[in-house]
Amino acid sequence: MTQTTPETYQRPNYRNPFPTTDIIIEYSDGKKEGIVLITRKNPPHGLAIPGGFAEWGLSLEENARKEAREETGLEVILETPEQPLCVHSAPDRDPRAHIISIAYVAKGYGTLRAGDDAVAARLYTIPEVKELIRKRQLAFDHDRILLKYLQWRGLA
């Protein structure tokens, strides 16, 4: 019997989806409160929930916190670390490849500033988020993820 090792899964002929962690960050800048969205630096461009590919050696929860910090400058506390808001796995949800999104909800702290893969990071009020969803102005299927969030919070 052949033993499965990490190297086994890194063979070019082994096709598997890529996991990502996405984070809905609830934030207040002292004047308004809402959700942080980023403008993506790399294709596919557009507005998106902060997030990124899961990295070797990090738990999904650690990866979510790292991605939030890198893209928004915020430290976050995940609301339910062992129970993500949702998982989206449709093979066509991302034009780059078969990418699985594990989406978390978090509270953000610190000073909001874009970094890493984000050209901009901005706070959107709930009415603004609803309008972005209505107009389908978000990258990937992030409109569906945010709609689930709004329903979960009783804000839909």
The DSSP output letter for 133 is H
pLDDT for position 6: 54
pLDDT for position 85: 97
CATH code: domain 17-152 is: 3.90.79.10
pLDDT for position 156: 86
Please tell me the pTM assigned to this model: 0.89
**For the chain, which residues make up each domain, given as ranges?**
17-152
pLDDT for position 46: 92
The residue among 111, 107, 103, 106 whose CA lies nearest residue 145 is 103
Query: Is-contact 76 154, C-beta < 8 A?
Result: no
> Rounded to whole angstroms, how far apart are CA atoms 99 and 40?
17
CA angle 24, 106, 109 (to 5 degrees): 110
What is the token pair recorded at 111? 């000073």
The residue among 146, 142, 130 whose CA lies nearest residue 44 is 142
pLDDT for position 7: 56
How many CA atoms within 13 Å lie on the side-chain side of 27?
Answer: 24
> Rounded to whole angstroms, how far apart are CA atoms 103 and 100?
10
What is the token pair recorded at 13? 């002929």
What is the token pair recorded at 156? 């839909």
pLDDT in tens, the chain (156 residues): 455 455 555 556 667 899 999 999 999 999 999 999 999 998 889 999 999 999 999 999 999 999 999 999 999 999 999 999 999 999 999 988 899 999 999 999 999 999 878 899 999 999 999 999 999 999 999 999 999 999 999 998
